[in-house]
Structure 1
C-alpha cells in the first residue's frame, strides 16, 4: 500500500499541474478587436495613415513546387481600394459619360436618377437624415469616402456581371452617382487624383469603435433604463420585387 501511494502521488501532482495549466487566464477582450493601436490625432478617417500590422515572414519555398505570381495575376486579385484612394487604377470618367452607362446597367434596380425601385436601395437623397428617426443611408448621406464608392461599384456591379466594365466606365459611373448627389459637376473628371479629393458630407461622421460594446452579463430587468424604444420599418423589406407595392421611402 505504501508503494502504491508513493507511485500515485507524483501522478496526482502531474495531473494537478496539467489542470492548473489549462485554466483560462483573464484577458482584455478589447484586444480581440484591435490588432494594433490607432495613430494619434484623427482616428476615424481612412485617409489618415495607420501603422502597418506585423506580418509573419512567409515560409521558405519548397524547390520544384509552385511559382511566383506574375504581375497580371496579382492585378486581377488586388482590386481593393482604400478610402484614401490608395490602389485606385488608371482611368478617368465624367458624370456626363456615366449617365448612359447608369441607364444601361444600373437604372433597372436603382432608378434613372438613383431614387431606388421596389426593394432596391436608393443611391441619392437623405442628406441630413442620419440624425432623424428615419435615417436614409445613401451614398450622399452616409458614405465616408468617394474612393469607396468606386471600389464597391467595380467590385460588385453591374449586379448580373460584376467587374465586367472598364476602369474608365467605372470612373464614369462613380462620377454619375456623385453627380446625382450634388457632390461633383457633370463635367468634372474623376480619376485616381481627383476622386480622393471629393468631400463626402458624412466624412467626419464615423467614430473609432470600442468593442466589446455590450457587457458579458445578460440584462434581465430595467434594461432600457427609462429610454424610449422606437422601431422603424422599411416597406421594401416586406414586398416581392416587381410587385409595385414598395416605395422608395421608409414607411
Structure 2
C-alpha cells in the first residue's frame, strides 16, 4: 500500500505563477500578522481596564457566553463556552485551563465576537481580557492591562502545560 503522504508532485514543469491573485502588500501582511507569543511579543499598543471590559463584554460577548455576574437558570444552555470556571465543576475555562494571559488576548483579538471576528479595537481587547481575568480571580479589579503588564500575569494552569522543546527526529516535521 502506498502512503499518499510520500508521493511527491513533479513541480519542475510548473509555471512561476498561475496568474491568480496578486502579491500581498506590506500593509496587507501587517494587518494579518497579529500573533502574540506567550512572552507578550506581538502585543499592540493600548490598554484596558476591568471596568471598560465589563461594558464591552455586556454589549458584545454576553449574548453568546452569558452573564459573568448572574448564574444560568437550571438546564439553560449557551451557544458558546463558559469563560469563568471553578474548581468544583471542572469546566475548562480561562481561569483553570488557559496557560498564558497573552493567549486569551490573542484569541479574543482574532476570533471574537463570533458574528464579527477581529472587529474589536486593541483597547477593547485589553479591556475584555482584563474583565475575564478578574472574573476568574487572576487579577485585581483595579488592574490595567497593556503590553507590559499582560505578559507578567502567571495563569493558574501554566504549570500544568509541558513545553514541547524537541529539536528534531522523525516525529518533527
Q: Same fold (TM over 0.5)?
A: yes
1:92 aligns with 2:8: no
1:83 aligns with 2:38: yes
Specify every segment of 5 or more residues in structure 1 that has no aligned partner in the other structure, as ranges: 1-22, 25-60, 211-251
| 1:207 positional shift | 2.4
Distance 1:113 1:67, change over 3 A: closer
Show the counterpart of 1:175: 130
| 1:135 positional shift | 2.9
1:118 aligns with 2:97: no
| 1:208 positional shift | 4.7
Task: Name the CA distance, whole Å, in 1 between partners of 2:153 and 2:163.
Answer: 22
- 3-state SS of paired residue (1:204): helix
TM-score (norm: length of structure 1): 0.52
- 3-state SS of paired residue (2:30): helix
Task: Name the CA distance, whole Å, in 1 between partners of 2:84 and 2:135.
Answer: 6
| 1:94 positional shift | 0.5
Quick one: higher RCO (CA 8 Å, sep 6+), 1 or 2?
Answer: 2
| 1:182 positional shift | 1.0
Aligned residues: 143
| 1:67 positional shift | 5.8
- 3-state SS of paired residue (1:190): strand
Show the counterpart of 1:147: 102
1:19-52 deviations in Å (ceiling 9; x for gaps)? xxxx99xxxxxxxxxxxxxxxxxxxxxxxxxxxx
RMSD in angstroms over aligned alpha carbons?
Answer: 2.6
Task: Name the CA distance, whole Å, in 2 between partners of 1:136 and 1:86.
Answer: 29
Specify every segment of 5 or more residues in structure 2 that has no aligned partner in the other structure, as ranges: 4-15, 166-173
1:166 aligns with 2:125: no
1:69 equivalent among 25, 28, 42: 25
